[in-house]
Structure 1
Amino acid sequence: MESLPSEGHAEVRIVAATPEVARRVAEVLRRCFASTEQRSYPAGRAEGTRLHLTVDTSHTAEPARSWLSTSTPTEQAQTHADEV
């Protein structure tokens, strides 16, 4: 069983068809949150990339701060087929 990230942190996994697309998404997240260095893995398909990074939600830039304060959790938490 995988351990949870520490308080105020979130583990983010990005799966994309190309490394460039995954890096662009990671860059947007880094502009909103302090984060660790990304880790890159093959996506497990013929091609594709999977990036992992940890973001610190307690140190946010203005766009993320505004979104976090106004967002509410949905009652229907959906998982993907490959999620545990």
Structure 2
Amino acid sequence: MDHEPLPSVGHAEVRIVAATPEVARRVAQVLRRCFTSTEQRSYPAGCEGATRLHLTIDTTHTAQPARSWLASSESSLEDHYPADEV
């Protein structure tokens, strides 16, 4: 099994595979609107014309729509235990 080093805390490695470079770029562009990211790296994806993009996003520096979504998706302890349990 391949053991790649984990990204630093607050960062995520994203890999996008698409049939065309244009589709992969559009997905990367949406991610960049929400998160600070590194420059994308592009690789062939195996099939003719397919593209694989890699980028690292910083989840600690998010744009407003992403920040709202991230905050609302974080679980709290109350989410895990019903109120009548001790």
For residues 21 and 4 of structure 1, the distance between their equivalents in structure 2, rounded to whole angstroms, comes to 27
For residues 73 and 36 of structure 2, the distance between their equivalents in structure 1, rounded to whole angstroms, comes to 19
Q: Which residue of 1 aligns with 2:62?
A: 60
Which one-letter code corresponds to 1:34 in the other structure? T
Q: Which residue of 1 aligns with 2:11?
A: 9
Question: Structure 2: where are the runs of 5+ without partners?
Answer: 76-86
Q: Which residue of 2 aligns with 1:71?
A: 73
- Displaced runs of 4 or more, over 6 A: none
Q: Which residue of 1 aligns with 2:30?
A: 28
* Structure with the larger helix share: 2
Which protein is bigger by CA-based radius of gyration?
Answer: 2
Question: Structure 1: where are the runs of 5+ without partners?
Answer: 74-84
Aligned length: 73
Output the aligned Cα RMSD.
Answer: 1.3
Same amino acid, percent of matched pairs: 78
